[in-house]
Chain A
């Protein structure tokens, strides 16, 4: 079946659809980009008017200079000074006005494109925060970053430069062509030779260079990737004495990158001289035929002069057009990537009648929260094809400690993802105090938990800001108290500015264990009624762990707690131990019950003392 399907697609049906699809996508991207721009339509209209005016003014210049030259032309003693001065003054006026307008136009377009970029970045960031957490597990950070910054920048560059240029080009080309026809229709015939010639050459060059430029970026990307990987693994490379070997590999990639760059340049470097050549050729032909026409008395020197200047204006942009088109193509491709991220499915919104946890559905009246959590017959998989949890049920009584244990990859963290409603189960229900969590607002549900994860996360800010992150308006005293309880106060006081010390990116200036203590302190600051600890102390050495044990107990006191841990010793006192294996609950019960049962838990427990 599958084989047959492939043959059919080879026959050409699917590729056609695919091509259609890309065209549709491209069109969509352009329309949406247009949508962003159209918000500023008054400014854009103004820009359009200014663009026409500025290019128009610039077009008058050569004409005026031609008249001025004609006034000089009679030569010795017969120069028509008043006429010359009039045109010279007009020239100056027009050139200054044109330059001013073009500056104003640039400023206008810069501010429009800035606004568009600001809006796009804002929208994309909004989207990022509303995406389900799983998106970030399956997409590389580097790729997302490059969409938010480099792709949007590409779009912006093209908006602020190319749009103006295209308009300007059209006006200049049309205007100078018109002027040239007015001056001398015969001389214009020259362009019937040079324009197709230059069109042919640019086409030839772009068709040659396009794949070469693509290859150049690809090879450079590969070289950069390799360098990054090897620098990250430098210690390992040293340990295995592979420096020479690695340098050899690098040189091979380096050679490829350099050659690809050269090959692209080889053709790319033709463009400039070729454009110039066409211009020079036009100038030669205009000179010869202009001179002939002059001798026949059908053209003045001033007209030849204007014609030469117009011909320069005329052929310049035509050659630029090829560049602009390729710029626009890359801008549309970048816009597609941006919109793709914007179109990702967000977390489904809270249902309109969602209640706040702890309040009745109709509003303000609070009922006491007891935090009775029940998971009932839940099936779940991150993708529908691959189920991770099967028919999972467990009940956590208010104030109880539930431990989830099991081998790596058994689905422990997935349970936490469901409890926090980072994901919704495919079937089955999760209840908190009897209300199904689908019917609660995410905010109220999540705020009822404090969470400490294995991946400690700290942001660029002071220690104090990091600790107070979860609770606005908390007093410094309370923060310090939490830090003391988490046994991190002394460490903090040892930092250069104490609680006001700036933590660098991802807390690079402190150790992993200290980071984890800080996140524990952050959870202590929260006044949540339920607690999730996912390998919360895995990077804290056991001795420190023992020391903060008291604090942890205090933190957990009276709260409904869920704990995931490798170290089985830490969870022996749990009220309920749930052993998960391959997505199913293998056993559950207290430590004593499970040890007596001599099942899976017993084996795991024994293994650590072998």
Chain B
């Protein structure tokens, strides 16, 4: 909250101050009206000058016009400031999210990042706009109203002021009780949403097991819970309006009684009582605005805190490449004998507790293929994550063209890769846009990539490269998605190709054809292929067999079939050999 107020609003302080002044004048205009009325009744009418009545009437209309003009101007200025400020907040937040290291992203989690970008920024925007508008106006009306009554009649105004502590007590008590009630309501609603989402996902299982009644009962329970929580929260906050009404109106009665004595004693006039009544209405409305403002601000403060938290994470770009002096043998290109990719005793752990990779070493020459195979959770994907610089190894060195990864610029490193990840994403874009991914690639290159990825047929069927795809590629089958992703990886003629379980939805025939294609057209590309099928990796130059993060076999298919029992087991189970 503080950062948003100080850092992001700072450029607008002047405009805000100007807006504040304009708003202030406009609001004062509003406040002058009841005073003019009382003046008319107490001074003008007894004097009996009709012209003066029209003069003061004209004065009131003038005040009204000025009030509306000033208030609208101030409101527009406030909206502009809020919009401009939130634009910058979103810009910084999104840039930060894009450059967040994978480690930090894991920590915050994706759904949370998304909600910070969407609903949290929205709440802050709403707050900035509203607080500048009502948040300024309401206190001015409140204080101004009190001040005006003080000028009119300080003694009567004390009667009114006596109700203020009571009103404040109502606001504080209700929000103190109400806010936690709303918080617990929110968590009930969250679990209700989760249940519905879950049941939609599992509808087949629920029906297959005839568990509809069970789910109904589960739903009913939480539905009731939400209902009760909501009722409690709403009924609590509903107290504030009638309670404030009672106190203010009782104050009004007090003013009439006190006023009666003062008028009788000749220390006050009847017109003033009349003006007091109007100021009361203004003050009452201002109080209600302020109590609503509390809700908006407390909601936004939570959101601002969540935004701030993300902004305080380091930027991936700020992690400077290490200066590794001794280890930089070739600036002008790979030395002839130097391996293209090298893992040198690499150990890594995501949680810095249990290692996910343990002392992994391998070397790939340019144009060679590495196959990685192993059971779920054995660390296959971790190898890729380290190789592409998403994470840094805890121990050991990774070298590309003999250069330590830690000393390389991440963009420079990643531009050498074409990669398909496990559960990779298709964006809501054209097929062409999904293949080029914003890279400077021509249609020819895209077409070639599509044909290499054996996707030409269905791309034509879908309506060509310019065909728009749905979000997450919902209008493609699993196999089609994978082929499109492979086309994306191949399109720029990458130096290194990464395929992480990227052919699991392809039937064997397509898979085999694809492998043949790679072999023919990409023989100079170094490949790292992760697969579950032995058939996908058996032709690789080297195969790494992982189990629980350790290398339990390394070599060619033939070698492993002889020496590595685990590999034998996998091979036999799949090929029936």
Residues of B with C-beta under 8 A to A407: 507, 509
Interface contact B471-A229, CB-CB below 8 Å: yes
Of A141, A233, A270, A453, which one neighbours B204 at CB under 8 angstroms? A453
- What's the Cα separation between A408 and B200 when bound, in Å? 24
- What's the Cα separation between A281 and B33 when bound, in Å? 10
Interface contact B87-A103, CB-CB below 8 Å: no
Q: Is B239 an interface residue (CB 8 A)?
A: yes
Chain A binder among B112-120, B325-333, B521-529: B112-120
- What's the Cα separation between A106 and B202 when bound, in Å? 40
Binary contact track B107-146/A, C-beta < 8 Å → 1, others 0: 0001001100110001001000100010000000000000
Residues of A with C-beta under 8 A to B427: 229, 233
Interface contact A254-B264, CB-CB below 8 Å: no
- What's the Cα separation between A605 and B512 when bound, in Å? 11
Residues of B with C-beta under 8 A to A262: 79-80, 83
- What's the Cα separation between A131 and B274 when bound, in Å? 65
Q: Is B511 an interface residue (CB 8 A)?
A: yes
**Given A79-B263, A246-B98, A254-B91, residue A129 in contact with residue B64 (CB < 8 A):** no
CB of A125 to closest CB in B, whole Å: 5
Question: Which of B102, B208, B479, B516 gathers most chain A CB within 10 Å?
Answer: B208
CB of B489 to closest CB in A, whole Å: 9
- Grouping DSSP codes into helix (H, G, I), strand (E, B) and loop, the A interface class, with mixed when no group exceeds half, is helix
- What's the Cα separation between A98 and B99 when bound, in Å? 59
Residues of A with C-beta under 8 A to B36: 287
Binary contact track B233-275/A, C-beta < 8 Å → 1, others 0: 0110011011101100110110011011101111001110110
Of B26, B83, B224, B256, which one neighbours A91 at CB under 8 angstroms? B256
Binary contact track B372-393/A, C-beta < 8 Å → 1, others 0: 0011111000000000101000
Q: Is B162 an interface residue (CB 8 A)?
A: no
Interface contact A610-B512, CB-CB below 8 Å: yes
Chain A minimum-CB-distance residue to B201:
A457
Q: Is B278 an interface residue (CB 8 A)?
A: yes
Interface contact A79-B260, CB-CB below 8 Å: yes
Binary contact track A116-140/B, C-beta < 8 Å → 1, others 0: 0110011001101111010010000
- What's the Cα separation between A255 and B83 when bound, in Å? 9
- What's the Cα separation between A234 and B197 when bound, in Å? 24
CB of A90 to closest CB in B, whole Å: 9
Residues of B with C-beta under 8 A to A61: 249
Residues of B with C-beta under 8 A to A609: 535, 575
Interface contact B97-A231, CB-CB below 8 Å: yes
Interface contact A118-B202, CB-CB below 8 Å: no
Q: Is B199 an interface residue (CB 8 A)?
A: yes
Interface contact A231-B113, CB-CB below 8 Å: yes
Interface contact A505-B71, CB-CB below 8 Å: no
Interface contact B246-A569, CB-CB below 8 Å: no
- What's the Cα separation between A280 and B37 when bound, in Å? 11
Residues of A with C-beta under 8 A to B102: 235
Residues of A with C-beta under 8 A to B421: 235-236, 239
CB of B430 to closest CB in A, whole Å: 14
Interface contact B438-A65, CB-CB below 8 Å: no
Instruction: State which size class the interface on A falls in.
Output: 35 or more
Of B241, B249, B270, which one neighbours A95 at CB under 8 angstroms? B249
Interface contact B414-A569, CB-CB below 8 Å: no
B residues 499-523 touching A (CB-CB < 8 Å): 504-509, 511-512, 515-516
Chain B minimum-CB-distance residue to A539:
B376
- What's the Cα separation between A71 and B256 when bound, in Å? 10
Binary contact track B201-226/A, C-beta < 8 Å → 1, others 0: 11111111111100110011001100
Interface contact A274-B68, CB-CB below 8 Å: yes
- What's the Cα separation between A573 and B165 when bound, in Å? 85
Of A65, A446, A542, which one neighbours B574 at CB under 8 angstroms? A542
CB of A219 to closest CB in B, whole Å: 12
Q: Which 9 A-B pairs have the closest CB atoms?
A: A513-B376, A288-B57, A284-B60, A233-B425, A269-B75, A280-B64, A273-B71, A457-B202, A277-B68
Contacts A84-B260, A231-B110 given; 17 further ones with Cβ under 8 A? A91-B249, A117-B227, A129-B212, A141-B200, A232-B110, A266-B76, A270-B72, A274-B72, A288-B57, A305-B274, A308-B274, A420-B207, A446-B209, A526-B209, A546-B570, A607-B512, A608-B574
Chain B minimum-CB-distance residue to A79:
B264
Residues of B with C-beta under 8 A to A572: 576
Interface contact A129-B206, CB-CB below 8 Å: yes
Interface contact B277-A65, CB-CB below 8 Å: yes
Of A73, A243, A457, which one neighbours B270 at CB under 8 angstroms? A73
Residues of A with C-beta under 8 A to B277: 65, 305, 308-309
CB of A224 to closest CB in B, whole Å: 4
